[in-house]
Chain A
Amino acid sequence: MKRSPILGAYAVAYLLFLYGPILILPLFAFNDSRIVAFPLSGFTTQWFGEMWADANLRKALGNSLIIALSTATISTALGIFAARSSVRYRWPGKAVVMGMIMVPLVLPEMIVAMALLVVLLTIGVPLSIFTIILGHVLICMPFAVAILTSAFQSLDKSLEEAALDLGETQISTFQLIVLPLVMPGILSAFLITFTISIDEFIIANFLGKGDPILSVYIFGQFRFPAKVPSMLALGTLLVLFSICMLAIAEYFRRRGIAKTGGKDSGGFL
């Protein structure tokens, strides 16, 4: 069957529109000019050096790493409990509870951020990095639970029964059989929630006390034209970092599928 050339052109235009701007990022990050405009004027790594020299930026990066690591750890751990119990056990109100966990996926983040802010202020919780983590866990949980649910679902129940049958206890069976087999899912949930948290802006902006946070800081720096090139350098690094994280997550997900001999039912990449 012959496809219309219009479809091909549409696909190319779509991809260009989507990824073109991201390609511009490294282009100007290495461009030897403070003004972000064509034509390019030469190659430099000056902006990367300038970026690293910025003490506030280093502080923001540190804070963001703390937030992202905590968020990823907490939401993955909570996700394990939720996914396991939703896949393996029956309890009253399960559908409602699991639905509620997934709701932040479709709620505007703005609403989540405002609602959280109002509640936190009302009950008198001081804003801090901790409150940002709280908000991030909320929006990361749906992703963690979705990934982990599919990991636990692909686990054959008789594997656990076989381990019990061969003399192991419930706890050792979980350690020896369940954990290793869902580990790819756990890693992939961890990496994806980490990635979501590290560049999240709205909640970080609303629920922070003013400590520098990477996304908020970058946004602020864009007001000063002189700072833009070094922010582009930072952006380049972040893009690279995100690609690495997603690739690693996908690698583990696929390896998990290959190992358990299951069928690939789609993923993030």
Chain B
Amino acid sequence: MTSEKPTMIEMRDVHKYYGDYHALRGINGTIRAGEFFSLLGPSGCGKTTLLRTIAGFEDISGGMIMIDGKNMAGVPANVRPTNMVFQSYAIFPHLTVAQNVGFGLRRDPRPKAEKQREVDEALEMVGLKGYGNRAAHALSGGQRQRVALARALILKPKVLLLDEPLSALDKKMREQMQMELIKLQRQVGITFILVTHDQEEALVMSDRIAVMFEGGIAQLADPETLYRRPNSRQVADFIGTMNFMPAKIVAETGDLVEVDSQGFGHVTLQGSQCMGTPGSNGSSIGFRPETLTILFENQQAVDRESMATVEEVVYYGDMTYYDVRIDGMTSPVRISMRNVFGRPVLDIGNRARVAWSPGALVLFR
């Protein structure tokens, strides 16, 4: 968990129109200095647009963006303390790797040798030592990305903006670069803002995540909170898998909410487990597949226990996904279980004991 750091970027009611199209619809949020921040959302929700307004490539139609305490209204991209790693990497094809990396130092009055040393250092930092004289257009995708990173970081910006930098890489390379990016960010201590539509990537890499839908931020929180306490069904659905069951609020006393739900019966939830506007109807409860456990032989439930029937089994090697219908529920729920050596995998139609805990439930209303 990150301690409170000073504010680096503040967005207040930011709006952006493309003609009639309302691309950003009142963005509010704070990005702290030195944090790894992600903008996560489905394609077309406005992530790139928001990133580009921070970089200064797009004017905003309303609201305010402050970077490091300064209002960015009317400040062009070339004087903002931000640098960008473009989705296409935007490597200058007619220049060498070293010329690309050193491009931002052109206006730097320091002697050539000193700048050259900095270029070499930047190349070494991204693992491209000795590549300086290569022609940029002959690089592989992963190498281009490293050049783009080195080129942006050499200016020591306050904020580094990355637009889906890993989406063009294959899975293995992507996972490797995720780790490298995290390490790099810790090493340089610069605020990173990453745009991604991949929830796993955001969870793995970020200190905090803003989940965006349709031009607005739906929830801004650290990965654990987003995962355990999503503030709407939409967010819960977008991040990982969540089971939903209809539920009815029977009583509210202070911070406690009593709920009647299919299968789980009568449970009492803390206020922190309840999302949405207090008092509204149409409730459902949600829970992650791994918060339920199938009990084998003489295992005992820590909290509550219900009986269920196995309806579907999906075997993944290290994991097995079960769709089970808990007695009293009208539809099955998904449970994910880590496979343990020597323990049998259940079959369709088996009866099973399922352990669950009211603390892992989230109420959406």
Interface residues in chain A, defined as those with a beta carbon under 8 Å from any beta carbon in chain B = 156, 158-159, 161-169, 177, 180-181, 258-261
Instruction: Mark contacts of B121-165 with chain A using CB atoms, 8 A cut-off: 1 yes-contact digit, 0 otherwise.
Output: 000000000000000010000000000000110010000000000
Query: Which residues of B in the span 206-227 have a Cβ within 8 Å of any Cβ on A?
Result: none
Give which listed residue, B84, B88, B106, contacts A165 with CB less than 8 A.
Answer: B84
Q: B107 touching A167 by the CB < 8 A rule?
A: yes
Closest to B80 in A: A165
Q: B106 touching A260 by the CB < 8 A rule?
A: no
Interface residues in chain B, defined as those with a beta carbon under 8 Å from any beta carbon in chain A = 55, 57, 76-79, 82-84, 86-88, 90, 92-94, 103-104, 106-107, 137, 151-152, 155
Residues of A within 8 A of B57 (CB): 161, 164-165
Closest to B82 in A: A165
Closest to B138 in A: A261
In Å, the complex CA distance between A22 and B233 comes to 77
Q: B94 touching A180 by the CB < 8 A rule?
A: yes
Q: A259 touching B78 by the CB < 8 A rule?
A: no
Give which listed residue, B55, B92, B104, contacts A177 with CB less than 8 A.
Answer: B92
B364: shortest Cβ distance to chain A, in Å?
Answer: 40
Residues of A within 8 A of B93 (CB): 181, 259-261
A48: shortest Cβ distance to chain B, in Å?
Answer: 42
Known: A162-B92, A166-B152, A167-B79. 10 other contacts (CB 8 A): A159-B90, A159-B92, A164-B57, A164-B78, A165-B77, A167-B78, A167-B107, A168-B107, A259-B93, A260-B137
Closest to B79 in A: A167
Residues of B within 8 A of A169 (CB): 78
14 pairs of residues in contact across A and B, judged by CB atoms under 8 Å = A158-B86, A158-B87, A159-B90, A161-B57, A161-B86, A162-B86, A163-B103, A165-B78, A167-B78, A167-B104, A167-B107, A181-B93, A259-B137, A261-B137
In Å, the complex CA distance between A156 and B76 comes to 20
Q: A168 touching B94 by the CB < 8 A rule?
A: no
Q: A158 touching B107 by the CB < 8 A rule?
A: no
In Å, the complex CA distance between A169 and B79 comes to 10
Q: Known contacts A165-B83, A168-B78, A169-B78: does B90 contact A156 (CB below 8 Å)?
A: yes
Residues of A within 8 A of B76 (CB): 164
In Å, the complex CA distance between A260 and B88 comes to 13
In Å, the complex CA distance between A156 and B94 comes to 13
B193: shortest Cβ distance to chain A, in Å?
Answer: 14
Residues of A within 8 A of B87 (CB): 158
Q: Known contacts A161-B77, A165-B77, A166-B83: does B90 contact A259 (CB below 8 Å)?
A: no
Closest to B93 in A: A260
Residues of B within 8 A of A180 (CB): 94
Closest to A260 in B: B93
Residues of A within 8 A of B77 (CB): 161, 164-165
Give which listed residue, A158, A165, A166, A259, contacts B94 with CB less than 8 A.
Answer: A259
Residues of B within 8 A of A165 (CB): 55, 57, 77-78, 82-84, 152
Secondary structure type dominating chain A contacts: helix
Q: Known contacts A161-B77, A180-B94: does B137 contact A166 (CB below 8 Å)?
A: no
B285: shortest Cβ distance to chain A, in Å?
Answer: 45
In Å, the complex CA distance between A168 and B79 comes to 9
A-B residue pairs, 4 tightest by C-beta: A166-B104, A162-B90, A158-B90, A158-B86
Q: B78 touching A162 by the CB < 8 A rule?
A: no
Residues of B within 8 A of A181 (CB): 93-94
Residues of B within 8 A of A164 (CB): 57, 76-78
Residues of B within 8 A of A158 (CB): 86-88, 90
Residues of A within 8 A of B104 (CB): 166-167
In Å, the complex CA distance between A168 and B107 comes to 8
Q: Of residues B83, B93, B104, which shows the largest number of chain A Cβ atoms within 10 Å of its Cβ?
A: B93
Q: Known contacts A167-B78, A169-B78: does B107 contact A162 (CB below 8 Å)?
A: no
In Å, the complex CA distance between A81 and B78 comes to 24
In Å, the complex CA distance between A162 and B55 comes to 11
Q: B155 touching A166 by the CB < 8 A rule?
A: yes
In Å, the complex CA distance between A166 and B76 comes to 12
A171: shortest Cβ distance to chain B, in Å?
Answer: 11
Residues of A within 8 A of B106 (CB): 167-168
B13: shortest Cβ distance to chain A, in Å?
Answer: 26
B160: shortest Cβ distance to chain A, in Å?
Answer: 11
In Å, the complex CA distance between A265 and B98 comes to 31
In Å, the complex CA distance between A167 and B78 comes to 4
Closest to B102 in A: A166
Give which listed residue, A161, A162, A167, A177, contacts B155 with CB less than 8 A.
Answer: A167
Closest to B94 in A: A180
Closest to A161 in B: B57
Q: B88 touching A166 by the CB < 8 A rule?
A: no
In Å, the complex CA distance between A151 and B106 comes to 26
In Å, the complex CA distance between A90 and B137 comes to 30
Closest to A262 in B: B93
In Å, the complex CA distance between A249 and B55 comes to 39
Residues of A within 8 A of B92 (CB): 159, 162-163, 177
Residues of B within 8 A of A161 (CB): 57, 77, 84, 86, 90
Residues of A within 8 A of B82 (CB): 165
Q: B88 touching A156 by the CB < 8 A rule?
A: yes
Residues of A within 8 A of B55 (CB): 165
In Å, the complex CA distance between A159 and B86 comes to 9
Residues of A within 8 A of B84 (CB): 161-162, 165
Closest to A160 in B: B90
In Å, the complex CA distance between A153 and B171 comes to 32
Residues of B within 8 A of A162 (CB): 84, 86, 90, 92, 151
Q: Of residues B79, B94, B151, which shows the largest number of chain A Cβ atoms within 10 Å of its Cβ?
A: B94
In Å, the complex CA distance between A156 and B84 comes to 15
B90: shortest Cβ distance to chain A, in Å?
Answer: 4
